Amino acid sequence: MQGIANTGVFITGGCGDIGQAVAKRFLAAGARVVLADMRPAAQGRAAAKALDPQRAAYVRCDVTRAASLDRAFAAALKFLGRLDTAICNAGTVTNQPFVDVTEEAWHRVLGVNLTGSFLTAQRAARLMLKNPRRGTARRGTILFTGSWVQHMPWPQGSSYCASKGGQQMLAKIIAQELAPHGITAAIVAPGMVYAGLTKKIYDRDRHFAKLVDKVVPLLRMSTAEEVAGSFLFLASDDGAYITGTTLLVDGGATLVRRE
């Protein structure tokens, strides 16, 4: 896609399945990419090197801590030269009946998914505002990994659904405020992806697996690679006029499957 070559991309949760798939698509289109993750440094650097020894790098980053993000962005900027696309992809989930949700679990999920998105997006926006602008051209884009459950409830998903619903509104506020400054914001909302956290839960929890199998009209979960292209599209010239909205990649799950 046009408009990706030679751009700088920062991806939180970059060593996870979706993060890796997204990084591959941007690298293939000619971008430079920084993977920001909590993995040990040696493991993270190996992941980046495996993707591209010259155009991919790793920084250790805890998205729930502002100071950690400040250090990560400073290191990333030295490698990238400039920041054009920031992808708030780091996430976690705890599935529990509402009456059993602990305060600790609630804070952990909201801390990573919502506060982490806020802290990442805010720092990215500050850097993008420093990018030179030609006329009304875009200065940068901030993208979020949302979820189809930002639109509808999922059993035992109170903390996760709430975090993704909040993330959706956060993206709209960012889009509204920063559009005049040439910065767009949007969400890619996957449905059931056989990757990362969902894959682990699906493989170990038969009750969860049965629920998933009944939900998707396309009768299968997606791959991380099927989700990754949507991020590339939104960051490309083809997506430059899209802001404040969600690109739903859910196989029809929100349609509610009927037998």
* CA atoms of 37 and 75, how far apart (whole Å): 13
What value, to the nearest 5°, has the Cα angle with vertex 254 and ends 206 and 87? Answer: 90
Rounded to 10°, the helix 224-235/17-28 angle is 50
3-state class (DSSP) for residue 5: coil
The two beta strands, 32-37 and 8-12, are parallel
**Which sequence positions are flagged as catalytic?**
160
81: left (phi over 0), alpha (psi -120 to 50) or beta: left
